[in-house]
Amino acid sequence: MFSKILIANRGEIAVRIIRACRELNIRTVAVYSEADKDSLHVELADEAVCIGPGPAQESYLNIPQIISAAEITDSDAIHPGYGFLAENAHFAEICESCGIKFIGPKPENIKLMGDKLEARKLAKKCGVPLVPGSLEKINEKEKALEIAHQIGYPVMLKAVAGGGGRGMRVCHTDMRLVSSFLTCQAEAESSFGDKSLYIEKFIENPRHIEVQIAADKYGNVISLYERECSIQRRHQKLIEEAPSPIIDTKLRKKLIEWATKLAKACKYENVGTLEFIMDKEQNLYFIEMNTRIQVEHPVTEQITDVDLVKLQILIAAGEKLSLKQEDIPLRGHAIEFRINCEDPEKNFVPTPGLIEFLNLPGGKGVRVDTAIYQGYRVPPFYDSLLAKLICYGKDRKEALKIAKRALSEFMIHPLKTTISLHQRIVSDPDFCKGNYDTSFLSKFYREEVYSFE
Ligand code: ADP
Ligand code: ADP
Ligand code: MG
């Protein structure tokens, strides 16, 4: 087992990883930017190394600085968390060549599944259904038009290297496709350093269903069931739950079978997530794989009683999966709410600043994963996620009751956050019935606060 792990991340996920290490008796090293010197992850880790100024490019994405920090602290592994370097195959390779274990999949896995077209090809080979569309990169708008005519409008232009909900455009007509092509290419180039695009059929108002898997280096693969993440804004998740209200035992079996097949086909190692979308007729289509721990992993932990971050560390240390598929429980229901410092009434403009008063909810069925505290000043440089509220009940109805209660206790004064929006969502009759899809929030906004946009 590792004796010391460096955490190449910040915020709630850095704290989450420190917790797992403590329970495994592993020492921890935090890295931090100058803007994060008063952060909780720095306070909680056994050691901390400053790796540069506030902007992520100069600190949390600065590979030479992070590797030096690992070397001077004699760390034997690096946990990348999510975002930043978590899906950077080059970083994983450098760790390997420096004799530092990267806690995540092998560089080949990251490279293969990080290329959304390669992932689509593999899905096709494995007989996993995928959204109709191209299997090759599209470099000219003429080719884009040809494929759009084959599959029929509406279509979606997507970046081959895309992530974080960026680099996507829905097109309903030839004219829109032509005009979007160059802007989408430019956005892909600036966000991901790769302008390659591909086209998918745009599935109208789908539900987002994803499957959590874990695989060890001996070829054993298990699935920790599905999560539903259809409450999204601009293709980014806001609320996630497990299990999905729409997936029955039969569909779940199918999902597990597909996810396991794909993981085995690429000799995957560590935890990962296969994302699907589901249309009105309950057809499921593979969209992509995330080769890392996911923001919403706690809902899976609540219903399966598996600590996914500890599992990542054990797998990276070469341990064999001790759980068999048939032994993994699925009990109760968990819902996660992303509490972002964004003003939902002002088009989600970021609202960083000083937290003068903080009250975290508690009580039965409530888990809060966060790195904020009273007196903390939220820096303007990073992701706006302040906290994750995870509510667990014996069934969805109970989880929702707990959520309403917990949201009413949650106070982060004077910052504007997404708490107010979540309160409205948990009172919505359709949401309460589990009757929703990825268009839920846009409808919601059109009805009442659309005028703020
Ligand atoms: P999840 O699938 O775990 O919900 P998100 O899409 O919310 O993940 O992304 C988690 C974090 O990782 C966000 O900060 C997001 O901007 C970032 N992220 C995800 N994919 C990429 C990527 N390919 N490139 C850069 N950042 C990414
Ligand atoms: P990212 O890598 O940024 O997470 P994904 O491919 O996972 O991108 O898509 C993010 C979200 O965008 C999905 O959850 C879904 O809401 C929407 N989406 C993606 N592809 C399609 C599609 N073909 N049709 C309809 N919606 C889609
Ligand atoms: Mg995705």
Each residue's pLDDT tens digit, 47-78:
999 999 999 999 999 999 999 999 999 999 99
Q: What is the pLDDT of residue 445?
A: 77
* 378 has a pLDDT exceeding 70: yes
Q: Which amino acid is at 328?
A: I
Question: Residue with the nearest Cα to atom 15 of ligand 1?
Answer: 164
* Calpha distance 417→422 (Å, rounded): 10
In this prediction, residues 86-114 reach a mean pLDDT of 98
Is residue 19 flagged as an active site residue? no
Q: How far is the CA of 288 from the centre of ligand 3 (A)?
A: 6
Catalytic residue among 233, 292, 367, 396: 292
Question: Residue with the nearest Cα to atom 23 of ligand 1?
Answer: 163
pTM of the model: 0.96
Q: Is 285 in the pocket of ligand 2 (CB under 6 A)?
A: no
Pick the CATH number of 132-201 from 3.40.50.1100, 3.20.20.70, 3.30.1490.20, 3.40.50.720: 3.30.1490.20
Q: Is 204 in the pocket of ligand 2 (CB under 6 A)?
A: no
Q: What single-letter DSSP state applies at residue 364? A: T
Q: What is the pLDDT of residue 448?
A: 47
Domain 207-448 has CATH 3.40.50.150: no
Ligand closest to CA 297? 1
Q: What is the dihedral of CA 333, 334, 335, 336, to 10 degrees?
A: -170
Q: Where in the chain is the domain with CATH 3.40.50.20?
A: 4-103
Q: Where in the chain is the domain with CATH 3.30.470.20?
A: 207-448
Instruction: Output the CATH code of domain 4-103.
Output: 3.40.50.20
Q: Which of 375, 374, 377, 373 is nearest to 351 (CA)?
A: 377
pLDDT in tens, 383-439: 999 999 999 999 999 999 999 999 999 999 999 999 999 999 999 999 999 999 999
Q: Where in the chain is the domain with CATH 3.30.1490.20?
A: 132-201
Strands of the 4-7 sheet, one edge to the other:
47-52, 27-33, 4-7, 77-79, 101-102
Separation in Å, CA 350 to CA 230, 291, 338, 415, 449: 22, 28, 14, 10, 17
